[in-house]
Structure 1
């Protein structure tokens, strides 16, 4: 199977106008969306759209439609002029005892021939809003280091304005994976975030070990977000007003083909 468990750490570093750094141990599941029914049938600790120690619910991703996230992602691929039908693998934290919050979930979208053709970055904020960025993968790039960029369209942190842009550096899933996100303004980098993780087989044993070594991870994520925000506020970070959510659920980044 292509699905797997990835364990590692995430590091956030705020560079200015004040400095702040955090590091957390985390794990995520890489789920091939076509393998979900087979995974739920094979694993005792993982269920699809129902309660378990670990579970995946389609309503937590995409448009939350009954057809599931694959239908949502393929619709976005068609809208971007890309070919549907290839493997789609989602990197995200599952629900743990019924709860999940993913600040960032990443879809690796493959062409029917197998090559990685696009990455969809699905961003959730703590205000209940969700926005995605679909960016084609340049075939000329090194497959082990995908560099992409886009303008920021949705308010995420109350301490950062909307007028910023993201730079992504991705090491696609293999024995290791890496996802780096830099948030820039007109003067340069403001926030750096990096996930580095190691592949593990997706089994009941590995899920149980992950639960024991990262207990109640998804609850800790949302608690950690608010704890770090409190520390930033105490350091004097300035709050920015929350603008309206984007009118469209997905921002399409068209590759520049100008010579």
Structure 2
């Protein structure tokens, strides 16, 4: 039954995208004005490269071109199925502007392995990046986890079965976000260029996986719909093609942990709480204390905000 649902979903997406693509091309030729109604101040466009390298147990690497949009959520609505600016501020406990880096839907289809929210505080007229929120969606299930992290550098317990070819119990993810402007390195504002770096450490295999997104700002695009045409489809095709290559290299298919361990989400939160306290101990050289003398080893004080979305049909 699941296979039939999946086949129907693929066929429905295919014909919907073909129809909307034809209409998009016709509209482009018949109109001179760009279709986008988003203010140029409300969205910035980026073009760059995603690079993945799996180092254990079989080495496998690839890269592909990608296009992203950076939305100023205080000047425009978020794309469907994303947090609003107020929602993000509430989660991050910030008071300044919020930006969302994501791949917008194209001709009826969305595919976003990773979206990021940049949450700022204001210091006079200057904005300071205080927190980021990661929005990770797995393939093929369409489950999602949303969690907050420190953009300078943070260790996060792996909270989602991202891939059927990746162990769900990698001990932690070292998620480091670096954004730079022209000529100098910054950690607080994606301007002309941006970068996202991710590395995964496995409890048994060690240095397991690294990934990066590096992109440059594009300023000459007049039609956003054509700029992102079939971008989500290309990302999906690339994911499935690399999965096929991993299968060909005899990388084991790993069943989703929800079938064998329904409490895997709660366990991920517990691992993350312990991980945060361990970081505090390391940073303070054994003096894991707040300014008021309170010990942050208390797990309730080290609890990171996570939010999960269940799988979509046919994987629910």
The TM-score normalised by the length of structure 2 is: 0.62
Aligned to 1:87: 97
In structure 1, distance between residues paired with 2:154 and 2:98: 19
In structure 2, distance between residues paired with 1:112 and 1:168: 24
Report the number of matched residues: 217
Unaligned runs of 5+ in 1: 38-47, 49-55, 63-68, 138-145
- With over 3 angstroms needed to count, the CA separation of the structure-2 counterparts of 1:75 and 1:184, relative to structure 1, is same
1:29–1:94 contact (8 Å) kept in structure 2: yes
Higher strand residue share: 1
**Aligned: 1:32 with 2:45:** no
Aligned to 1:185: 202
Aligned to 1:224: 238
Could you give the per-residue CA deviations for residues 121-147 of structure 1, whole angstroms, max 9, x where no partner exists?
11001212110220134xxxxxxxx32
Query: Superposition pairs for residues 188-207 of structure 1, below 5 Å?
Result: 188-201=206-219, 203-205=221-223, 207=224
In structure 2, distance between residues paired with 1:203 and 1:254: 42
In structure 1, distance between residues paired with 2:216 and 2:164: 32
Aligned to 1:246: 265
- With over 3 angstroms needed to count, the CA separation of the structure-2 counterparts of 1:202 and 1:71, relative to structure 1, is farther
In structure 1, distance between residues paired with 2:225 and 2:160: 35
Deviates more, 1:183-192 or 1:99-108: 183-192
Runs of 4+ with deviation above 4 angstroms:
250-258
Instruction: Report how far residue 25 of structure 1 moved.
Output: 0.6
Partner of residue 110 from structure 2, selected from 100, 107, 110: 100
Instruction: Report how far residue 26 of structure 1 moved.
Output: 0.6
Give the aligned CA root-mean-square deviation in angstroms: 2.6
- With over 3 angstroms needed to count, the CA separation of the structure-2 counterparts of 1:202 and 1:134, relative to structure 1, is farther
2:42–2:76 contact (8 Å) kept in structure 1: no
- The structure number with the bigger radius of gyration is 2
2:121–2:130 contact (8 Å) kept in structure 1: yes
In structure 1, distance between residues paired with 2:195 and 2:215: 6
